[in-house]
Structure 1
Amino acid sequence: MEPNNCTNSIHYSGRWWPLSISIGRNKSESQSNGPCKTTIQGIAIGLETHIKGSFEGLCIGGKCIVEGDATGVMLSGVNKSSGDITGFQLGVITNQAQRNISGFQLGLVNYALGNVSGFQIAGCNFAGQRTHGVQIGFVTNITHQTDSLFQLGLFNRQAQCNWVNPLFSVPGYCLFGAKQ
């Protein structure tokens, strides 16, 4: 068995662990040297919450930013994660995930740069790679790499279609012609 060469140090500004309630800002940082990954667990409630590192728990407030993977629930006006999201994001304005989403996003604008295997329900949905789940949008649904399982909205664009499909879209169905 190899020795653990990880030296982790966790720095918290303000009272964070395991509950942070603030009218202003919540800020928490986890730093690790080496191949270690530090995860912050708990509940953060505030106007703005900024977490450097992975987060497991509940984040409620005006803005919730996680610079790592997020597991749990993000309920804010603006939700943003630079890692994978397991759970769901409920955003009044926007939800953003830099990588994969295995839960669902519910907000005015949903954006996932990676894969979406759950639901995206919003005015506008965008999946950067592939969507194994369902996109339901008032205005538009877009998939970039491969087709979505089902899209429902005024304008829907599957990856294999040249133009948008009105009202709904399913894989292999292009109203105005498929890409060659």
Structure 2
Amino acid sequence: MSVDTEQPARPQALIGAALLAAGRPVRLRELAGVLGLGEDATLRAVQAFAAALEAAGLGITLEAVAGGYRLIVPPGLAGHLAPLLAPAPLPSLSNAALEVLAIIAYRQPVTRAEIEAMRGASAGTVLTLQERELVKVVGRSDAVGQPLLYGTTEKFLLEFGLGSLQDLPPLQGADFSHLLRS
């Protein structure tokens, strides 16, 4: 089967193909490059694509997350797909790990010593958060010894369903306890 690269593809077809092929959230400017359009025209095409998916009721929806767009299964259908889905997710994070993650998310970039000072306890869960790819080393501090600075990752945004760090809930003082699950 030959592929006709001379025939221009419909923008919606290219958007769907790009999102499916990428397997990750695709930023608007990346889609604009694929479509050969400006960002405003691309945004309109993305919105039309999302509306077409919804109208067709095909069991696929467009989600804006982590600064880009991706195709997902609507939450109402996910339960029906349990036999097909990957193994169960990793165990829930402990309250200590969630607290450390919240400190990093809100105060990044931050050193381990700063995390421990805020918590009044060890920040040993930083390694667990790194293993789960929720936080990463983003540099070194200018402080004595040049300690590592930690920040969140794109996977953090994906796992918590955030478009960007600006979507974090407002922080109530320095107390992170309201962010912890009961």
State the TM-score bracket (shorter-chain normalisation): under 0.3
Q: Which has the higher contact order (CA 8 A, sep 6+)?
A: 2
Q: Which has the larger strand fraction?
A: 1
Whose radius of gyration is greater, 1 or 2?
2
Q: Which has the larger helix fraction?
A: 2
* TM-score between the two structures when normalised by the length of structure 2: 0.22
